[in-house]
Chain A
Amino acid sequence: MSTTTVPPGTRGDVEGGIGRTVDRPDGTPKVSGGFAFSSDLHHDRMLWGKALRSPHPHARIRSIDTSKAAAMPGVHCVLTADDVPGNPNHGLEHTDQPVFAADVVRFHGEAIAAVAAEHPEQALRAIRAIEVDYEILEPLTDPEAALDADPIHPDGNLFRHLPLRHGDPDATGEVSVEGTYEVGMQDQAFLGPESGMAIPTEDGGVELLISTQWLHVDHGQVAACLDLPPEKVHLALAGVGGAFGAREDVSLQVHVCLLALATGRPVKIQYSREESFHGHVHRHPARMWFRHTATADGDLVKLEARLLLDGGAYASTSPAVLANAVCFAGGPYVFPNAVVDGWAVRTNNPPCGAMRGFGVVQACFGHESQMDKLADALGMDPVELRLRNAMKPGDPLLTGQIITGTAPVREVIEACIAHPLPGEPGPDDPLMTLPGGAGLTAERRDVRRGTGIAVSIKNLMYSEGFDDFSTARCRLELSPDGQPVATVQCAAAEVGQGFVTLAQQIARSELHVERVLLGPADTSIGSAGSTSASRQTWMSGGAVQIACRAVREELLARAAGREGEPLAGSRRVRFDLRGSDVVDLDSGATFPVVDLLAEGPIDLTREHHHAPTDPLDADGQGNAHVSFAFAAHRAVVDVDPELGLVRVVQIATGQDVGKALNPRAVTGQLEGGIAQGLGLAVMEEIVVDDGRVRNPSFTDYLIPTALDVAPVVATLIEQPEPGAPFGAKGVGEPPTISSTPAIVSAIRAATGRDLTRVPVRPQDICL
């Protein structure tokens, strides 16, 4: 039953409401330069903080001498692990990552000390004056060796082993294909580097203005590390310049607060791009083996897979990322039988954690490569093979969970391939449009075109029994000019996705009020959970919806009260909000909202929980997930096989969105997500050489420019999801997931090369 069902003529179609293309409330300041990102924070008395980071991936710290740094002009304090009063560690699922490395450094770029100085140049000079005596240790950089190697952390080298056994492990079929695949380390590479300001408060506490994805999980970790009672630590969201998973973990939060408390001054930390690459988690590199078995007719019989994720030095969200990779190792297809094992391990490589797609990106590259291979072995059209095995409602996942919601896999595939192919290249096309772009490396005759398709499934929201919730507050009152105005408050982090727009849309639709203000996103209200896992529209959108509905109920109750009776029993359905009046549907009596609010404001807070899930059992079975979104991508690429250069020509997609609450914003999510998938396919990789990051800059970590992205043609499949507020599914992650394997499939088609690794490098194609 969808919650979108509304009586005709009421909440379904409101100007600026749900389903409309609505402007962002933060749009004008963002285009005029006035929007305050966290790096724009300024305080008259502020100091600049900066962290010293390890140049070694693995070393014992014999000693740290901060005396020279502390004596430098403009330097106010230098802090090390000895100065952390509370929990010396933080971490999202396991608190295993030191605030400052104390005795051992475990990755290149790990923070060792921090300084606060009057000027950023003084801070830079000061950290370079800190003398650290390192005993360099051999780094553990091969994830396959991690399990047998000596532990590099007291918690051991295994973050999680997740076995999944489904159906008959001995099932056989006529056709089998095997493959081994690798995914490189991708970075979120948001544009606005980590930054924040901490301001000491008079009660001995601290206020932290921070760009983050989840204020409350930061809050808990910061308070624990500072050894302050939670009420003395106040966090407020400062403007966030993109996130994509990289802002889920603590980066500078504790450092900046420690510096502020130590100096009694406001302190700002703003990461350089290099520091940003060292300071946040990345997408897990993966090594994956698959064997797909099918009947001669192309019915999938069994999936076998072994997945190894390199979690780097600290746990972050590795266990949950692994669960996604394992649960969705087969993709959006029905397998009666499966034997899957996944491991996430600790190494001295950079820590890995959340990034858009969260474990499914890696698995999808593997399973979609396999589906192409299987189609080839069967002599079958790859689209036909996918359609034949596509999940539908009522089908089981590898975990045994039955899909009870919508699962328009066939529909997304059919919509995707229905888009016309782009026109064939012409002899007069500018050379700039060929692979190699401005480098003028090719002529048309050097280029071959290829087309490929890939399909994905992504779980929405958190899984495995986590009681996920969001909190929202709605206040409806009369403004000084006598008009109703709603204020919605929710701690959901607006990171660019447009939740602020959606919150206003929901309030307008539920309350028929034109003016909707947004309260501060901070820790004065309950948690909204993380802006991740495609969950905020569902979770916080749902929280805003039920808070607004509670306010509406109170309006109806006030109207009923005017008729001298409580709003109860059969009277409950007699009243409704129609336009700007509450109407008694029996008597026809109308009660203007303006009059009802004259009694005083209505101010209510509600928590929204999704339907509960279960943990996975010892065989990886269980109802562990809430809901699923599906997408198909078709890529058309031009390849220069001799030089190995690629130009993506077009991406077509069909995506299961449940319902598009703000169609233009959905389009933006699709195009942006596809660009990140394109990046992983052909250019993006953090190059780690013996534990050292070799390219922590925008000079060498390449993300797509406007000359690299391809036009996107998209069809949104709208089948309202039962249980989802307004029937909407999160749309952020799927575009990033199957776009990558679609592009690689197209490159294979153009070149005939096997291509088992992303990003595909020129030498992978031509040597």
Chain B
Amino acid sequence: MTTPPPTPDALAYDLTINDRTHSVPSAWLGESLLYVLRERLGMPGSKNACDQGECGSCSVQLDGQLVCSCCVLAADAADGDIRTVEGVASGSGRRDGAPEGELSDVQQAFLDEGAVQCGFCIPGLIVSVHDLLDRVPDADELTVREAISGNLCRCTGYGRILEAVATVQSRRAGGGGS
């Protein structure tokens, strides 16, 4: 990343994202974690679609909790453990032995089931579905629907996304998926 642009007022802190420490040398106090990820740290995978926690496109995990990064003040996340969509594919903490850069099983299932259209909501959904299946591996369909009810998708009507979640569950349980 290059030098960040000048800022109304400057604040410096470090963020730990996907197990790596990133310095934020000069930021405005009012910047959300989403803004800092996208505009200061070169991690635009988390998307900005509403700026008010009403769409889930910016979902990340903070200290193991699924949250909207647009509602997290970046400077307040300084000693937190932040996991973004960029960390999902690396295999870190996700799947045993998954090589660096390989898609996670959730990501693969989204591709296999045609869950991706425009794709803007997808990074947030990937993070949310990982969060759900790590906590509730055998979630039934209603549980899945409730768990992703904070992730708006305008293209798919959620049908293929629900299929993808079912496929992950089936594969993790030893089945082949569809």
List the interface of chain A (C-beta within 8 A of B).
21, 23-24, 26-28, 30-37, 39-40, 42, 44, 46, 73-74, 118-122, 125, 188-193, 239-244, 270, 272-273, 430, 432-433, 438, 495-498, 664-665, 667-668, 671-676, 697-699, 703-707, 709, 711-712
> Cα distance A253–B52 when bound, in Å?
26
**Cβ–Cβ contact A711 & B114, under 8 A:** no
Q: Which residues of B contact A698 (CB under 8 A)?
A: 49-50, 52, 54-55, 152
B111 touches A119 (CB 8 A): no
B162 at the A interface (CB under 8 A): yes
Contact of B154 with A by CB under 8 A: yes
Number of A-B contacts (CB under 8 A): 201
The residue on B at minimum CB distance from A21 is: B114
The 5 closest A-B CB pairs, nearest first, are: A33-B45, A496-B118, A30-B119, A675-B157, A241-B120
A-side contacts of B88, CB under 8 Å: 32-33
B153 neighbours in A (Cβ, 8 Å): 191, 706
Q: B51 and A668: CB pair below 8 A? A: no
Cβ contact within 8 Å between B47 and A37: yes
Is B36 located at the chain interface by the 8 A CB criterion? no
B149 at the interface (CB under 8 A from A): yes
Listed A/B pairs (28) with beta-carbon separation below 8 Å: A21-B114, A26-B119, A33-B85, A33-B123, A37-B119, A44-B3, A119-B8, A121-B8, A121-B28, A122-B8, A191-B153, A193-B48, A239-B119, A241-B47, A242-B155, A664-B113, A665-B114, A667-B114, A667-B160, A668-B115, A671-B160, A698-B54, A698-B55, A705-B150, A706-B148, A706-B149, A706-B158, A712-B159
CA distance A430 to B28 in the complex (A): 46
Instruction: Tell me the minimal C-beta distance from A672 to chain B in angstroms.
Output: 4
B92-123 near A? 1/0 per residue, CB < 8 Å: 00000000000100010011111111111111
Q: Which of B3, B84, B110, B146 contacts A438 (CB 8 A)?
A: B146
Chain A residues with CB under 8 Å of B174's CB are: none
Q: With A21-B114, A699-B54, A709-B157 as given contacts, are A118 and B47 in contact (CB-CB < 8 Å)?
A: no
The reply on B14 being an interface residue by CB < 8 A is no
Least Cβ–Cβ distance between A493 and chain B, in angstroms: 11
B134 to chain A, nearest CB (A): 17
The answer to whether B158 and A675 touch across the interface, beta carbons within 8 angstroms, is: yes
Partner among A36, A189, A495 whose Cβ is within 8 Å of the Cβ of B118: A495
With contact pairs A242-B118, A497-B117, A674-B157 given, residues A119 and B47 touching in the complex (Cβ less than 8 Å) = no
Residues from chain A with Cβ under 8 Å of B8 in the complex: 73-74, 119, 121-122, 125
**Docked CA distance A704–B116 (Å):** 17
B residues near A (Cβ < 8 Å) are 2-3, 5-8, 28, 30, 35, 38-39, 42-52, 54-55, 57, 84-86, 88-89, 103, 107, 110-123, 126, 142, 144-146, 148-162
* B45→A241 contact, CB < 8 A: no
Residues in A whose Cβ lies below 8 Å from that of B118: 190-192, 240-243, 495-496
Most chain B CB neighbours (cut-off 10 Å) among A37, A671, A675, A699: A671
* Distance A645 CA – B150 CA, assembled complex (angstroms): 20
> How far does the Cβ of A574 sit from chain B's closest Cβ, in whole Å?
41
The answer on a CB contact under 8 Å between B155 and A496 is yes
Contact B146 A32 (CB under 8 A): no
Chain A nearest CB: distance from B11 CB in Å?
13
Please, how many angstroms separate the alpha-carbon atoms of A497 and B116 in the complex? 9
Residue of A nearest to B121 (CB): A191
> Once the chains are docked, how many angstroms separate the CA of A192 from the CA of B50?
9
B42: nearest chain-A partner, CB-CB: A42
Q: Are A676 and B154 in contact (CB under 8 A)?
A: yes
Contact of B49 among A23, A32, A42, A191 (CB under 8 A): A191
CA distance A112 to B148 in the complex (A): 39
Q: Are B142 and A31 in contact (CB under 8 A)?
A: no
Q: In the complex, are the beta carbons of B57 and A191 less than 8 A apart?
A: yes
Q: A31-B126, A33-B45, A118-B6 are in contact. Are A241 and B103 (CB under 8 A)?
A: no
Q: A39 near B2 (CB under 8 angstroms)?
A: no
A449 to chain B, nearest CB (A): 18
Inter-chain CA distance A240–B120, complex, in Å, is 8
Question: Which of A122, A191, A672, A675 gathers the greatest number of chain B CB atoms within 10 Å?
Answer: A191
